[in-house]
Amino acid sequence: MNREGSWPKRLFSLHISRGIAALAVVVWHWEHFADSSYARPENLDKSAYPFHSFLKVFHEKGYFGVSYFFLLSGFIFFWLYRQRIEERTVGFGNFWLQRFSRLYPLHFVTLLLVAGLQFLFSSTNPSGEFFIYPSNDAPHFLLQLGFASHWGLESTKSFNGPIWSVSVEILLYLVFFVVALLGKGRFFSCALIALVGMVLYPATKHMFFLGLSLFFLGGVVYEVTGWLFQRRAFQHRLLYLATGVSSMAWLATIFVPGIEDSIASLSLLELNRGEGILPRFSWIGDITYSPYLLHFPLQLVLMIAVTNSFLRPDFYLSPLWLLLFLTVLVASSYATFRYFEVPMQRRIRNLAKSPPGKPIRGAVAGSGILR
């Protein structure tokens, strides 16, 4: 039996985990507020941050959320698209239409929003500098418009800086499509490409190669998970044990584990035991993309309030402000997903499929940053 065909259309555990990863990045970026000189301090003491004892792992290691995105993207794309691309049931145009309709509308709106907010911020602070991401000029705006903000053509991060990882993913999608089309998206090919990326990243320091390594490692994890799924429960328990040990070591800051075992474990647990109550929390995964793109504009709004003396410069040390920020962010992200992302995605896909003059009918919209 075809392995892809034996899997469900969605694994809620993975869907939810990427929403948590997005929020981890948001908490990690809380350090932006500590940047009173508008330049990242070299020695930042995060122990004064709100709820630090509880959120320490996010404050100090939240950047691993981006690595998790790359890895999980690879897993999901090999699971959902590899065979269909290989069998020519999903063509190049359809594949990119889905990517464009899912990612571009919110990117475009937040790009315009951040451009306006950065202008206000630079005009109201004494130094006249931009907040965190300095290259907010016409050339970098054009790169942002083309989703090319982190292709090596930029001088540094610009505008809505977190979009850099999505810019890299655009290139990874292209590599993935070619590999799948050539029928090379199996274990050894994925492992080889992941190894190439792993070797080139330290030499080049370009995040594309880190993304390449993690994305195709995700393909390896998908292959291994499918292999384990056909095996006895004993092998599954060994994987769960390894995941638990590595996670505990990571939380204890002993070393950085391979996050790939977490994805395999979550997948096998749901495949073996069913989805249970997980669908009730699927909204956490639904809003993955929104908080990732909305949290920096929201930070800018608060910093403009600081430069206009509506807020104290150290407001971010208050637990109340962290709770308020996260509440507003999650609420606005859910509203954005439901009332903007999904309708825009549906409309773009229907416009592309409907002949001129025909009415637009309903369509199923994907969810999350990776669908």
Residue 131 has pLDDT above 60, yes or no: yes
Average pLDDT, the chain: 82
Token digits for 264?
Answer: 């395999």
Question: Rounded to whole angstroms, how far apart are CA atoms 106 and 295?
Answer: 13
Residue 257 has pLDDT above 60, yes or no: no
- Give me the pLDDT at residue 304, please: 92
User: In Å, how far are 134, 147, 153, 165, 185 from 158, measured between CA atoms?
Assistant: 6, 12, 12, 13, 34
Give the orientation angle of helix 260-273 with respect to helix 207-229, to 10 degrees: 30
Structure confidence by residue, pLDDT tens digits, 151-182: 989 888 999 999 999 999 999 999 999 999 99
Question: Rounded to whole angstroms, how far apart are CA atoms 85 and 63?
Answer: 32
Residue 104 has pLDDT above 70, yes or no: yes
Structure confidence by residue, pLDDT tens digits, 61-72: 788 889 889 989
Return the higher-pLDDT residue of 357 and 140.
Answer: 140
Range picked from 27-41, 98-112, 273-287, 348-362 for highest mean pLDDT: 98-112
Residue 205 inside a domain? The answer is yes
Residue 364 inside a domain? The answer is no
- Give me the pLDDT at residue 370, please: 40
Domain around 108: 4-34+45-353
Token digits for 87?
Answer: 């069998």
- Give me the pLDDT at residue 369, please: 40
Share of the chain above pLDDT 70, in %: 82
Return the higher-pLDDT residue of 207 and 230.
Answer: 207
Other beta carbons within 10 Å of 323? 12
- Give me the pLDDT at residue 354, please: 55
- Give me the pLDDT at residue 231, please: 61
Residue 361 inside a domain? The answer is no
Residue 40 inside a domain? The answer is no
| Polymer length in residues for the chain | 371
Burial label for 338, CB within 10 Å (0-12, 13-18, 19+), is middle
- Give me the pLDDT at residue 208, please: 93
Q: Where do we find the tokens 């590599």?
A: 175
pTM beyond cutoff 0.75: yes
Q: How confident is the model at residue 128 (pLDDT cuts 50, 70, 90)?
A: confident
User: In Å, how far are 31, 134, 281, 289 from 295, measured between CA atoms?
Assistant: 13, 17, 21, 10
Burial label for 345, CB within 10 Å (0-12, 13-18, 19+), is buried
Structure confidence by residue, pLDDT tens digits, 179-191: 999 998 888 898 8
Instruction: Give Cα 170 to chain centroid, integer Å.
Output: 12
How many domains, the chain? 1
- Which of 1-15, 45-59, 117-131, 325-339 shows the lowest per-residue confidence on average (mean pLDDT)? 1-15
Residue 368 inside a domain? The answer is no
Residue 365 inside a domain? The answer is no
Residue 370 inside a domain? The answer is no
- Which of 5-19, 36-50, 184-198 shows the lowest per-residue confidence on average (mean pLDDT)? 36-50
Contacts 24+ apart (CB under 8 A), 119-125: 120/304, 121/300, 121/303, 121/304, 121/307, 124/304, 124/307, 124/308, 125/38, 125/307
In this prediction, residues 251-272 reach a mean pLDDT of: 60
Return the higher-pLDDT residue of 11 and 368.
Answer: 11
